[in-house]
Amino acid sequence: MNLREAHAADIEAIARLHAESWRATYRGMYRDEYLDGPVFDDRRNAWQGRLTSPRPGQYTVVAENGDGLAGFACAFADHDAKWGTLLDNIHVAPERKRAGVGTMLMRDVAFWAERERPAVGIYLWVIEANAPARRFYERLGARNAERATFDPPGRGTFASLRYVWPNPAALIAASGW
């Protein structure tokens, strides 16, 4: 598995994997009309912006093997004054789940965050109903800090949980390094 920073040539592949991941994971959470309809175009537009005009403090990494894109993650340093770096996206191809790709991506983001802001926390939002993701983050040492409602693309409202690590070193240690 090769990890590298994403670039504009990855827009289509990332958008395709992002849409595929949402369809596989969020069925019954996001509206079917959205998942079966404009989700790919929506994700492509998002990644077009992120990878052609990245915000300061943005880091996007892809995991690839001989079969193509296996996963990706995107984080934003200094996103929140209290919680620190936001891990905004982490997605693994459905057929590559439980093969260590997600842990590799989490570890890579933690190493990047440690270089950028070593004493600042890392956090993410996870849909409360997404039990497999919650178990994954908990295995990597995250704790649930708060619950909030979220309005996803495609309409609807549901509960999300803010999972936090106090600093990048805590995530690195929990990921086995």
- Domain count for the chain: 1
Nearest Cα to Cα of residue 102 among 76, 70, 125: 70
Give residue-wise pLDDT tens across range 65-74. Answer: 888 899 999 9
Bigger pLDDT: 87 vs 95: 87
Q: What is the 3-state secondary structure (H, E, C) of 82-97?
A: CCEEEEEEEEECHHHC
Determine contact, residues 1/63, Cβ cutoff 8 Å: yes
Tell if the pTM clears 0.75, that is, is over it. yes
Helix (H, G, I), strand (E, B) or coil at 81: coil
Give residue-wise pLDDT tens across range 31-88. Answer: 888 899 999 999 999 999 999 999 999 999 999 988 889 999 999 998 998 999 999 9
Dihedral angle sign, alpha carbons of residues 18, 19, 21, 22 = positive
What is the domain-level CATH number for residue 148?
3.40.630.30
166: which DSSP letter?
Answer: S
Question: Domain limits at 21?
Answer: 2-174
Determine contact, residues 125/161, Cβ cutoff 8 Å: yes
Q: What is the 3-state secondary structure (H, E, C) of 105-120?
A: HHHHHHHHHHHHCCCC
Residue type at position 38: P
In whole numbers, what is the pLDDT of the chain averaged over residues?
91
d(CA 171, CA 166): 8
pLDDT band for position 155 (cuts 50, 70, 90) = low
Q: What is the pLDDT of residue 174?
A: 81
